[in-house]
Amino acid sequence: MACLALAGCAGGGSEGATATTAAEPLGSRPLVGRDRAQFEADMEALRGRVVVVNFWASWCQPCRQEMPAFQEVSEGYAEAGQPVTFIGVDAGDVREEAARFLAEVGVTYPTVYDRKGITGGLSASWSVTSLPQTWFVAKDGSRAGRIPRPVTAAELRSRVDELLAGP
């Protein structure tokens, strides 16, 4: 699955920490802590893949409504062996509530815990000002656009297929 593709990603995080001494792969467990530098290292390790980064929170109703579509589409690309990775970024949330929600939905793709969220965290460094928001990263590592609202499974597939077909 998508989590396995990230097994060798750099960086790691302990509960609430922004800098760590021990490496923890991004896909090793839900809600791995990441600071900006660690997340950028993760993204660099994913060059050659299309990456979908969804910024969300468990308290955000539109986020809750779109999450099953992300899981469905993520599973589809993983089962087809496509070079696509989905990453969720839980922004400014209560970690335990976010973990509970991920378990309810059955999310299997990697998720990051961003304690500060849009008020100075990793999310803010991606210009996220409201939730949900989804960024698409091309195979060359460049940010290839974003959708600053809830998305459907069809929209996700369409945008990912465009990026897979590109250079």
User: 10-17 long-range contacts, Cβ below 8 Å, gap at least 24?
Assistant: 10/38, 10/41, 10/42, 10/44, 10/45, 11/37, 11/38, 11/39, 11/41, 11/42, 12/38, 13/38, 13/113, 15/95, 16/115
Q: pTM score, two decimals?
A: 0.84
Question: Which tens digit of pLDDT belongs to each residue from 19-55?
Answer: 333 457 777 678 998 889 999 999 999 999 999 999 9
CA atoms within 13 A on the CB side of 22: 7
List of domains in the chain = 2-165 (3.40.30.10)
From CA 124, how far away is CA 48, in angstroms rounded? Answer: 25
Residues 141, 47 contacting (CB under 8 angstroms): yes
Residues 116, 82 contacting (CB under 8 angstroms): no
Question: Which tens digit of pLDDT belongs to each residue from 81-120?
Answer: 999 999 999 999 999 999 999 999 999 999 999 999 999 9
